[in-house]
Amino acid sequence: MNMTDILIAALVIFVAPIIGCLYAGIDRKITARLQGRVGPPLLQPYYDVKKLLSKDNMVVNPSQNFYVVVYVAFLILSLLMLVFRADILMIIFVYTVSSIALIVGGMSTGSPYARVGSSREIMAILAYEPILILYALAIYLLTGTFKLSAVVDASTPLLVYTPLIFIAMIVVLNIKLKKSPFDYSTSHHAHQELVKGMLTEYSGPGMAGIEIGHFYEYVFLTGLIFVFWAVNPLIGLIISAAAFFFVTLIDNITARVYWQWMLKLSWSVLLILSIVNIAFLYFSEATIM
């Protein structure tokens, strides 16, 4: 850990939420345009966070906001590990801790809506976690190590050998960003049914913390897509941005499905896609070094 590393870390911590905020703003703008509306200003997510910070803090138990801190802290940690090209398996585990923190926070409030949302989020984790592990396994098979630095220094991009896992990862991105058709744990569009899901009992600064966490999460998840073409950062950026906008498009043209459908989709189609890809890598003994 030298001086430049500390500088890069500080830069990531401050710049990532700005990028995430812009992502969220563009997302809302695109959604509005697709629905034939003018839409909110580009910086609307920033205004929302600023407003939430100025509101009163209303909590149902003292530990509720602590889970938000855990959520944001572990997201920042996983993002930093991604930037410093650490162990992909470790990154996935650290990232899971942040998701779990939000679930425990929702469960701790005792609201029935939060309970339902949290249990649905657990189902989402059950759906996407195997895909993430197989994604890490593909990196291992291709480079001989779980370290992301090997992917960056490789001669061929990861995507050339893992197109099927890439398709699965797009769906994982969709599930993780809680976009339609998988938007049932915090329900951006389903107020009547679930109020606000997992986040029902958060107010003011606690909710602002979760929003900032979402900004980090946007950057982290598009970062996972970036890894597919990390050898050339420009193409990687284009691919990750395209994946993000594709997810926004899917969000607007699909309706919400049951969580059973998601589980079936993930454990049949996506898992088979990933396993076929892994089997190909295993038997062809391909390498991108």
Residue 125 interacting with another protein (CB under 8 A): no
Residue 62 interacting with another protein (CB under 8 A): no
Minimum separation from the CB atom of position 45 to another protein (A): 9
Minimum separation from the CB atom of position 286 to another protein (A): 48
Contact characters 95-124, another protein, x per CB under 8 A: ------------------x-----------
- Our CB check for another protein shows the closer of 199 and 239 to be 199
Site for another protein in 20-39 (CB under 8 A): 28, 32, 35-39
Residue 185 interacting with another protein (CB under 8 A): no
- Our CB check for another protein shows the closer of 51 and 264 to be 51
The answer, yes or no, to whether the previous bond of 181 is cis (omega within 30 of 0) is yes
Minimum separation from the CB atom of position 20 to another protein (A): 17
DSSP character string of the chain: --HHHHHHHHHHHHHHHHHHHHHHHHHHHHHHHHTT-----TTHHHHHHHHHHHS----SSTTHHHHHHHHHHHHHHHHHHHHTT-BHHHHHHHHHHHHHHHHHHHHHH--HHHHHHHHHHHHHHHHHHHHHHHHHHHHHHHHSSSBHHHHHT-SS-GGGT-HHHHHHHHHHHHHHTT-TTS--SS-SS-HHHHTTGGGTT--THHHHHHHHHHHHHHHHHHHHHHGGGTTSHHHHHHHHHHHHHHHHHHHHH-----HHHHHHIIIIIIHHHHHHHHHHHHHHT----
- Our CB check for another protein shows the closer of 165 and 211 to be 211
Region of 54-62, 72-80, 84-92, 123-131 interacting with another protein (CB under 8 A): 54-62
Instruction: Give the CA-trace dihedral at 78, 202, 63, 121, to 10 degrees.
Output: -50
Minimum separation from the CB atom of position 53 to another protein (A): 8
Residue 264 interacting with another protein (CB under 8 A): no
**CA–CA gap between residue 193 and residue 160 (Å, rounded):** 43
Minimum separation from the CB atom of position 208 to another protein (A): 10
Query: Which of 10, 11, 15, 41 touches another protein (CB under 8 A)?
Result: 41
Minimum separation from the CB atom of position 219 to another protein (A): 22
Residue 253 interacting with another protein (CB under 8 A): no
Q: If you search the block for the tokens 């089997």, which residue do you land on?
A: 279
Minimum separation from the CB atom of position 243 to another protein (A): 25
* Number of residues near another protein (by CB under 8 A): 34
Residues forming the site for another protein (CB under 8 A): 28, 32, 35-41, 44, 47-48, 50-52, 54-58, 113, 187, 191-192, 194-196, 199-204, 207
